[in-house]
């Protein structure tokens, strides 16, 4: 029987130092093999420093909803709030709910491209995969495709129906339940594995991290990040995956 190939990915490296430390542990002592860097965040370099020497696969987790932009603010007014920060994920969710789009595609492309250039400055090479953080926006999806095509980047598209592609190859996207009450990361990962299809790589997207003041003041995803660190570093979880014949891979293996 063909083995199930599984990518265990940690998003949000660079979000904050607390998040960075949780991701570091999930890589060094756990099953995370791919991490998504938020290039615009102040703690991005700190997170990369913690991961030096691990050989972890690093992708661009393009961030349009927190922090300062990488592009010249004068060029992207539709993306910014009155304080010059990127508009919040809440603003995007509210617009999506009523079928509205407040961003300008050309401005979206400018910021995505600027974050790509910042990624290369920080990491020294192209991202192993290319996608975006927690935003529902038609212009974001279109902008990612435009920048990916321009620079030959490996775009990881993720749909709301549990499917996705990586450079055109079909993927199974495991459920992301971390925003739900009584979240159980162990059962969520196990359920994703049980329902995945051998021969079609599966992706589990986690958000491990430890809690600090910046996270508490800026995110609704807090305690469950710490739960995910525990799950992703639990030897029993790794043993269970081995017993199911799961092969842990990275985007670089596809």
H-assigned helices in the chain: 17-28, 44-50, 89-97, 105-123, 138-151, 185-194, 213-218, 223-232, 235-243
Region 190-209: mean pLDDT is 94
> What pLDDT is stored for residue 158 in this prediction?
85
What's the predicted TM-score (pTM) here?
0.96
What confidence tens digit (pLDDT) does each residue in 226-239 have?
999 999 999 999 99
Task: Assess whether pLDDT exceeds 80 at residue 220.
Answer: yes
User: Residue with structure tokens 């060094």?
Assistant: 28
Instruction: Give the chain's mean pLDDT.
Output: 95
Task: Show Cβ contacts of residue 65 under 8 Å, excluding neighbours closer than 6 positions.
Answer: 86, 87, 88, 89, 91, 92, 133, 134, 135
What confidence tens digit (pLDDT) does each residue in 18-77 have?
999 999 999 999 999 999 999 999 999 999 999 999 999 999 999 999 999 999 999 999
Rounded distance, CA 27 to CA 52, Å?
A: 11
Torsion angles phi and psi, residue 196, rounded to 5: -80, 165
The two structure tokens encoding residue 20: 């960075």
Strand partners, 203: 7, 173
What confidence tens digit (pLDDT) does each residue in 62-116 have?
999 999 999 999 999 999 999 999 999 999 999 999 999 999 999 999 999 999 9
> What pLDDT is stored for residue 3 in this prediction?
85
Rounded distance, CA 32 to CA 61, Å?
A: 15
Strand partners, 103: none
Task: Assess whether pLDDT exceeds 60 at residue 207.
Answer: yes
Q: Are 229 and 26 in contact (CB under 8 A)?
A: yes
Task: Assess whether pLDDT exceeds 70 at residue 217.
Answer: yes
Proportion of the chain above pLDDT 90, given as a percent: 92
HSE-CB for 118 with a 13 A CA cutoff: 24
> What pLDDT is stored for residue 36 in this prediction?
98
Quick one: pLDDT band at residue 161, thresholds 50, 70, 90? confident
The two structure tokens encoding residue 52: 């030096």
> What pLDDT is stored for residue 118 in this prediction?
98
Domain spans in the chain, listed from the N-terminal domain onward: 4-253
* CATH superfamily name and code, 4-253: Glycoside hydrolase/deacetylase (3.20.20.370)
> What pLDDT is stored for residue 2 in this prediction?
72
């Amino acid at each position: 029987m063909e083995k199930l190939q599984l990518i265990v990915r940690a998003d949000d490296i660079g979000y904050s130092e607390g998040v960075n430390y949780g991701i570091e542990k999930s890589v060094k002592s756990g099953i995370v093999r791919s991490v998504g860097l938020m290039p615009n965040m102040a703690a991005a370099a700190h997170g990369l420093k913690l991961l030096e020497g691990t050989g972890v696969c690093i992708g661009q987790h393009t961030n349009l909803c927190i922090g300062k932009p990488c592009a010249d603010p004068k060029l992207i007014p539709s993306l910014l709030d009155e304080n010059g920060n990127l508009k919040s994920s809440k603003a995007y969710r509210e617009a999506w709910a009523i079928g509205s789009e407040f961003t300008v595609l050309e401005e979206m492309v400018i910021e995505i491209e600027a974050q790509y250039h910042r990624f290369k400055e920080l990491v020294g090479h192209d991202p192993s995969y290319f996608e975006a953080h927690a935003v529902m926006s038609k212009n974001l999806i279109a902008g990612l495709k435009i920048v990916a095509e321009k620079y030959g980047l490996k775009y990881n598209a993720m749909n709301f129906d549990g499917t996705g592609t990586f450079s055109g190859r079909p993927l199974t996207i495991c459920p992301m339940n971390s925003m739900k009450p009584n979240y159980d990361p162990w059962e969520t990962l196990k359920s994703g594995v049980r329902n995945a299809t051998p021969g079609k790589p599966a992706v589990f997207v986690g958000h491990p991290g430890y809690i600090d003041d910046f996270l508490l003041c800026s995110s609704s995803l807090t305690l469950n990040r710490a739960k995910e660190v525990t799950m992703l570093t639990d030897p029993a979880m790794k043993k269970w995956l081995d017993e199911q014949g799961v092969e842990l891979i990275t985007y670089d293996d596809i």
